[in-house]
Structure 1
Amino acid sequence: MRKPEILAPAGSLEKLKTAIDFGADAVYIGGSKLNLRAFADNFTNEEISEGVKYAHERGKKVYVTMNVFPHNGDLVGVEDYLRNLQDLGIDAIIVADLAIFSIAREVVPDMEIHISTQANNVNWRSAKFWYDQGAKRVVLARELSMQEIESITSKIPEDCDIEAFVHGSMCMSYSGRCLISNYMTGRDSNRGACAQPCRYKYYLVEEKRPGEYFPVFEDEKGTYIMNSKDLCMIEHIPELVKSGIYSFKIEGRMKSSYYVAAVVKAYRQALDAYWADPENYEFKQEWLDIVTKVSHRSYHTGFYFGEKNKQVYDTSSYVRDYDIVGVVKAYDKETKIATIEQKNRVFENDVVEVLRPVGDGFEVSLLDMKDEAGNKIEVAPRAQMIFTITSETELKEKDMLIKSKGAN
């Protein structure tokens, strides 16, 4: 059995580097065409090149999403785009549509292809079909149970990789295929422009009573009848490993660098601990604490364990109890001065948590705060401003400083 891969989202070059620094084995990104996050900070060719170099120098991989369902016009230039991705050195493409798959097999026959969750793979025969056509990996649909996944992995060739989502937002449509956004807003979810109408709050209006809005209830669970909780499988690493899933996929190309860092770190630590000693593995609450501090909806385990009435949620709001306030750029061991790039407003003497790529978290106080010119300041109010603090505790480059919104 191979050690599973932790696959992280990267909506920008900064997030790609963050994901790798905090422990991801691979990242998935969107290029300039044909990916399902049209509003993400998708990568230019220069950024892909830099990202691939950064990843490969550290023994990590980069996958590019091409998982839209293309209309005729979208197919123009696909051949050149694929050749360009190959020249840039990406490790695999993620596709859902037969047209893109067939074009890739023709023009870049040596390119590794992963079949997207959008292709709705829910049984072993479909997984084996894609494998027989030349796909290296199949990303399973999110509506499968652990038992179904184990059945799939037991019936397919050993070198057919299975990937599954283990953390992040859930889509209420069938593996992401949805027309509600098209119908209500004209934005095509299957071409990367979803307006997320499933997160809206709905009321019932009778045509002869305009202006009278009646709340819609479902089993007294609330009015957000299409809104889902977020998936979180951090407490179930042993089950995921034993199921035969090779790649543990984290959702969130539109999420922040803090989200990427925290979630990747938690799953990295949990998987490493289990892999090192499966017989004596014990789950640590701190791993759940880490993923609970990032912006999220209430967590659940999706369809993995067949639990009922856990999907529908009664609000679309996120839990946002913590903010990233800074990233350490440098630390002088002699003067004990840390140089920090501000990410959110923060005050002198604030107590912040330190999230670093390796090792446990801890707290420091922001003492003797000064601006870049050395002037004493009481607050760092401007985004990306550089300031310094004095810290007896050694800080390291890339440490993230996290502050509770309830803290003084």
Structure 2
Amino acid sequence: MSLIDFQSKREIELLSPAKTADIGIEAINHGADAVYIGAPHFSARAAAGNSIADITRLINYAHRFRAKVYIALNTILTNAELQLAESIIWQLYEAGADALIVQDMGLLELSLPPIALHASTQTDNRSLDKIKFLENTGFSQIVLARELSLEQIKLITSQTSAKIECFVHGALCVSYSGQCYASQALRGRSANRGECAQLCRLPYQLEDGNGKILSSQKHFLSLKDLNLSAYLAEMMDVGVSSFKIEGRLKEMSYVKNITAFYRKKLDQLLMRSDRYVKSSLGNVKFSFDPDPERTFYRGATDYFLHQRKTQMVQLQTPKSIGQQLGTVRKQGKGTLTVNTKYDLHNGDGLCFVSSDGTLTGFRVNRIENDLIFPFKMPDIKPGTTLYRNFDQAFEDQLAKPSAERKIPLRLSFSDTEDGFNINANIDRMEPFAFHFSYDKELSKNGIEITQQNIIKQLGKLGDSVFTLEKIDITLSNAWFIPSSVLTVWRRTMVEQLEQTIHHLLKPDNTKKNNNLHPALFPQSRLTYLGNVANDKARTFYLSHGVTSIEPALESGGTLSSDSPVMTTKYCLKYEMGWCPRQQPDTIPQEPLFLQGAHDRLQLHFNCAACEMQIIIANKKQNCKPRN
């Protein structure tokens, strides 16, 4: 039994995050074609490591649907950590992991098993030269930088054969991924080692070069969340094969909701297309209507997919604002009346932007008709826009089993000279034939009763991944077949089908041997921006044409007074309407500064490249990692 070769059809993958194995299993149940989860150590979310036993459990479950499990081991490593990393990688390979997501090129100099390598977004994959280099050094899948436009993605996919993966939903880092050093420099917590302090989510005061305060206590660097759900067809058409949801620190309800949302979107597109096919098996039925605004939601942006836009940041808060409900119509004694089309429930969490510009929240004690009784009455005025950032009824739905994933099975049952045949058909797979030898004898109940019992017994697929979609029965006589015998045949069939599907996932060991003619890295000199933190990584780059290598900031590298700790495509001047190309009436005196409670940051604008750089204006910097 094997997969049917669709030739012209390209496999499309929905890739969901998993903080834990249990969340990963629910991602599969809700339609993920693949899941990515943190390794026991060295994933870019230090708080989201998982044991080999739990990862193995997730792999075994995912493979029942031909879904894949990718392991994030994507921090930069010290010399002392390489041996443990190598050991973990071998354990993951033996557990059946489908790929390893990595940032540190030193790993490629270790004795690795033939496991597929995916280039993390932390490797700063913005240019065609970089993507072609990664492909030539053995990476079979490459996660592009979130900042790329549709046209840039199209150029890359047209020039590479590696599978291209793009983020389509979730939190955005304001800096190019892998190129943010603010947390390391100011807090000793390395973003490249999974310990980001998220300084971009803090409030700042914006000042001009004369010290004039332009705006106070706003979250100028806190981007809204990415949502590209309206552009999936365009992205497929330019060559994207893997659609990634961010969120390895997100909780179960979020992963269920967002995975289901994109599963439904992609299924609608795939049903109408003869060019693409889903990469895994099975159909999903949901007991809820997915809605991105009803779990963690900062507001949405499509970022730079089509063109540069304003309103990319959520100035008031880095927290979830949720679903916009409407406006407050009236405030009574201990009650609020709201103009809204949505049903509210006891326990809902509501929020609003107060008169001083901060986000303020309160919980609903009870609802009576159109009256809201808060636990504690907020200071809120009629006309204020109200949001729901905790939907009690929706969370209750998602706390229960909320999806069922099954592989439709079509059977044909017939008799032979020495017994019976069962032919099994599954979409995208070659038919599978089972023959059971059996001494036949006639039934006293007639052929109709015989057929009904065959349907009943073969349809008891229970906890298997299959559901009986159709069965055709062709018998020359009304044969007597005991229910116990049919049960044994069904179990044998199901077991062999599940084993076959599991083994359809062949190891992707595309790592190339390029020792004789190694690919040349696009740059001959690496500064601290190269994130070289160990001797193996240094050896790797030297063997690929790099002649000068500075150490990573985390391993002794230094910052000059004008070294950027963030480089962003997001531009605060453009966001505020001060870009010279917008021809504003006034432009504030530069340089501009962001003054926080503990940090002072200077903004530098590279208008030729349409980029913004952030430089530390503090006198003291702390580049040493925390113990």
TM-score > 0.5 by shorter chain: yes
Q: Which residue of 2 aligns with 1:56?
A: 63
| 1:161 is aligned to 2:168 | no
Unmatched tracts of structure 2, length 5 or more: 1-8, 275-287, 324-343, 348-363, 369-390, 406-462, 464-627
Q: Give how far 1:59 is off.
A: 1.6
* Cα deviations by residue, 1:22-61 (Å, 9 ceiling, x for unpaired): 0000000001111110012x21111011111111122211
1:107 aligned partner, one-letter code: L
Higher alpha-carbon Rg: 2
Residue 85 (structure 2) aligned to one of 65, 78, 98: 78
Contact 2:303 2:309 (8 Å CA) reproduced:
no
Q: Give how far 1:216 is off.
A: 5.4
Q: Which residue of 2 aligns with 1:290?
A: 291
Determine the C-alpha separation between the residues in 2 that align with 1:253 and 1:26: 14
| 1:107 is aligned to 2:115 | no
CA gap of 1:107–1:214, structure 2 versus 1, over 3 A, is same
CA gap of 1:205–1:267, structure 2 versus 1, over 3 A, is closer
Q: Give how far 1:142 is off.
A: 1.0
2:164 aligned partner, one-letter code: I
Contact 2:258 2:290 (8 Å CA) reproduced:
no
Determine the C-alpha separation between the residues in 1 that align with 2:296 and 2:186: 27
Q: Give how far 1:143 is off.
A: 1.1
* Cα deviations by residue, 1:81-101 (Å, 9 ceiling, x for unpaired): 211111111000001121023
Determine the C-alpha separation between the residues in 1 that align with 2:301 and 2:178: 18
Residue 241 (structure 2) aligned to one of 246, 256, 278: 246
Determine the C-alpha separation between the residues in 1 that align with 2:257 and 2:53: 27
Using the aligned pairs only, state the percent identity: 33
Residue 46 (structure 1) aligned to one of 33, 53, 56: 53
Contact 1:121 1:140 (8 Å CA) reproduced:
yes
Contact 2:257 2:290 (8 Å CA) reproduced:
no
CA gap of 1:67–1:57, structure 2 versus 1, over 3 A, is same
1:294 aligned partner, one-letter code: T
Determine the C-alpha separation between the residues in 2 that align with 1:319 and 1:19: 24
Contact 1:65 1:93 (8 Å CA) reproduced:
yes
Contact 2:260 2:290 (8 Å CA) reproduced:
no
Q: Which residue of 2 aligns with 1:175?
A: 177
Q: Which residue of 1 aligns with 2:600?
A: none
2:151 aligned partner, one-letter code: Q
SS of aligned partner of 2:172:
coil
SS of aligned partner of 2:151:
helix
Determine the C-alpha separation between the residues in 2 that align with 1:91 and 1:289: 28
* Cα deviations by residue, 1:82-137 (Å, 9 ceiling, x for unpaired): 1111111100000112102332xx321x1100001111112223222212211111
* Cα deviations by residue, 1:47-77 (Å, 9 ceiling, x for unpaired): 0111111111222110001111122233232
Contact 2:227 2:300 (8 Å CA) reproduced:
yes
Residue 16 (structure 1) aligned to one of 17, 24, 37: 24
CA gap of 1:226–1:131, structure 2 versus 1, over 3 A, is same
Q: Which has the higher contact order (CA 8 A, sep 6+)?
A: 2
Q: Give how far 1:288 is off.
A: 9.9
Determine the C-alpha separation between the residues in 2 that align with 1:153 and 1:264: 25
TM-score normalised by length of structure 1: 0.72
The number of aligned residues is 320
1:357 aligned partner, one-letter code: A
Contact 1:201 1:223 (8 Å CA) reproduced:
yes
Q: Which residue of 2 aligns with 1:262?
A: 257
Q: Give how far 1:161 is off.
A: 0.3
Q: Give how far 1:269 is off.
A: 0.5
Determine the C-alpha separation between the residues in 1 that align with 2:207 and 2:83: 44
Determine the C-alpha separation between the residues in 1 that align with 2:212 and 2:24: 45
Q: Which residue of 2 aligns with 1:7?
A: 15
Q: Which residue of 2 aligns with 1:302?
A: 303
Q: Which residue of 2 aligns with 1:401?
A: none
CA gap of 1:24–1:75, structure 2 versus 1, over 3 A, is same
Contact 1:216 1:223 (8 Å CA) reproduced:
no
SS of aligned partner of 1:59:
coil
SS of aligned partner of 1:151:
helix
| 1:88 is aligned to 2:83 | no
CA gap of 1:214–1:24, structure 2 versus 1, over 3 A, is farther
Contact 1:93 1:112 (8 Å CA) reproduced:
yes
* Cα deviations by residue, 1:334-390 (Å, 9 ceiling, x for unpaired): xxxxxxxxxxx999x99945463269xxxxxxxxxxxxxxxxxxxxxxxxxxxxxxx
Q: CA RMSD in A?
A: 3.2
SS of aligned partner of 2:133:
helix
